[in-house]
Structure 1
Amino acid sequence: MVLLIAAIAFANRGGGSGSGSADGEAAKDGPRSEATAPSGVKPVDGKTGGIASGFAHSEQGAQSAAANFAVALGGDGMFRADSRHAIVDATHTPDAAPALKSELDKAYSADFLKNVGLQADGSAPKGLTFVSRTVPVGSKTTSYSNGDATVEVWCTGLVGLAGEGSTKPVSQTWFTVTEKLRWSNDDWKIVSSSQKQGPAPVNGDDRAASAEEISNAVGGYGGFTYAR
């Protein structure tokens, strides 16, 4: 198991290459990516621990599950033990969840949290707002069968501390998450996952927002449930 999304984003902010995976190589005879468009299939309406659930038993359903899981695993809830455990349980198979929770508890240590500017319990210092949000840009299946699927989700993310005096301002990251999914208990769940950096576009000429603007935006704009 590897550290997921936000933790790696912080670790990689100084540069260097992310971790790759053989799963990220598209199968020559596998399904090709398709434009995200209305499909006529009813979006999921169920939730498990606040995370979308009840995905269709199809390639489309697997992509929707993978995108939703990337959002959950890239959120600020991963930096607090109780919510992290709930997120892992809701997104992973019963066989995979226990070992991953143990590994992540070691990874999100007090020293790691201090290094990213957080308190020992994962909360932000007084007067600052911690931001960790993942936004899927696109997805594709690289392999699919009735019971298993491998899905790549290309994402952008925001991570950092917003507020006056922050030494770790909110910045943007780009990465691709590869999720191995299994049809388990009538839903898609993660068996294992990996992450690599990019592909990242050229930076635009947008004016960087002030700390107050970022804090207000994070508090004022909620996240999305993704379903194709």
Structure 2
Amino acid sequence: MSLGDERETSGGYGGTGQTRTRLPESSGDVYGGARRGGRSSSRSLVTVVGVVVLLIAAIAFANRGGDDSASPSGDENQPNSSTTAASGTRPVDGKSAGIPGGFARDEQGAQSAAANYSVALGSADMFTTARRHEIVDMVYAPAVAAKRQADLDSAYASEKFLANIGLGEDGAAPAGQTFISRVIPVGTKATSFSTGAATVEVWYTSLFGLSGEGSTNPVAESWYTTTYELKWVGNDWKVTDFQQKDGPVPVGRDQRASTADDMTKAVEEYGGFTYAR
């Protein structure tokens, strides 16, 4: 039996049992029988091309967010890449009093400074007089640091304030408990900028409370946005004023709260970061 008149009887088309006869090519090509499967090959080719086209379309759709060009049918509420992406620029090379300093005199530097200053001002160190003075002197501009220092001393030394959060008169946690106050920036936004002044918003979540058996003020999560007024003073960005507001607050997940021991261990073992825009 030649390739040309090979008969296939195993099921035919679609299992109908029909018999298909392959006729010889008029050109006499010895591979004519193999080429006779053109219809099947065409179908396979169409399928492959269709899949490739779909993949290309999917990739283009996924990458559309990186296109800064305006689209009349696009969602104006979607942030572009320049708004949310990290700059990739190293913020600073060193620290002073344990706080990053020496930020660049540009918009990214101002945002990085605001994020790191938020962490310092929201830390448990602010409840210790000596350490609080170091932080304020480092973060605030000299022209306002002294007044801010007095205001903060008055607030943090208040027995009523300390009692409300479960701390002693010296700002220490009760025996067997650990005081936790940490700020974790989520993002920053410069609402105004010049080489001498900047206004930066920092959106962050905070952990605050006492972990340990018998705590009457367990560690809880809160969300805030603080707007910092910054000035370029002495080769760095310094805070001159700030305003705080609640939120934006995401919907909480239905997760089981950790034990006091787990929370204490996590805070003691997991260090913080130097934040960069």
Question: Could you say which TM-score interval applies, normalised by the shorter chain?
Answer: 0.7 to 0.9
Larger radius of gyration: 2
**DSSP 3-state at the match of 2:84:** coil
1:125: how far off?
0.7
The corresponding residue for 2:112 is 64
Q: How far 1:94 moved relative to its partner?
A: 0.4
Q: CA deviation at 1:207?
A: 1.4
Distance 1:191 1:159 in 2: 25
Tell me, yes or no, if the aligned pair for 1:177 and 1:195 is still in contact at 8 Å.
yes
Query: How many Å apart are 1:42 and its aligned residue?
Result: 3.1
8 Å Cα contact 1:33-1:141 kept in structure 2: no
| Structure 2: 5+ residue stretches without partners | 1-80
Is 2:136 aligned against 1:88? Answer: yes
1:219 deviates by 0.6
Say which SS state the counterpart of residue 174 (structure 1) adopts: strand
Paired residue type of 1:72: A
Change (3 A) 1:33 1:158: farther
Give the conservation status (yes or no) of the 8 Å contact 2:205–2:224: yes
Query: Per-residue deviation at 1:33?
Result: 7.2
Alignment partner, residue 124 of structure 2: 76
TM-score, normalised relative to structure 2: 0.69
- Equivalent residues of 2:177, 2:213 under 8 A apart: yes
Matching of residue 217 in structure 1 with residue 266 in structure 2: yes
1:191 aligns with 2:240: yes
Partner Cα distance (1:225, 1:53) in 2 = 10
| Structure 1 segment 69-218 matched on structure 2, within 5 A | 69-108=117-156, 109-218=158-267
Structure 1 residue ranges, 4+ long, deviating more than 3 angstroms after superposition: none
- The whole-number CA distance in structure 1 between the counterparts of 2:265 and 2:85 is 30
Q: How does 1:34-53 map to 2 (within 5 A)?
A: 34-39=83-88, 41-53=89-101
Residue 225 of structure 1 and its aligned partner are, at CA, apart by: 0.9
- Contact 2:86 2:276 (8 Å CA) reproduced: no
Q: CA RMSD in A?
A: 1.3
Contact 1:137 1:156 in 2 (8 A): yes
* Structure 1 unaligned spans of 5+: 1-31
- For the residue of structure 2 that corresponds to 1:67, the secondary structure is helix
The one-letter code sitting in structure 1 at the alignment partner of 2:169 is A
Partners in 1 of 2:246 and 2:164 — Cα distance? Answer: 21
Q: Partners of 1:173 and 1:73 in 2: how far apart?
A: 15
Q: Distance in 2 between matches of 1:139 and 1:210?
A: 32
Q: Secondary structure of the residue that 1:34 maps to in structure 2?
A: helix
Q: In 2, are the aligned partners of 1:33 and 1:140 still within 8 Å (CA)?
A: no
> What is the number of residues matched between the two proteins?
196
Describe the shift of the 1:33–1:191 C-alpha distance in structure 2 as closer, same or farther (beyond 3 A). Answer: farther
1:178-209 alpha-carbon deviations (Å, 9 max, x no partner):
00000000000001111001110011112110
Structure number with higher relative contact order (C-alpha < 8 Å, ≥ 6 residues apart): 1
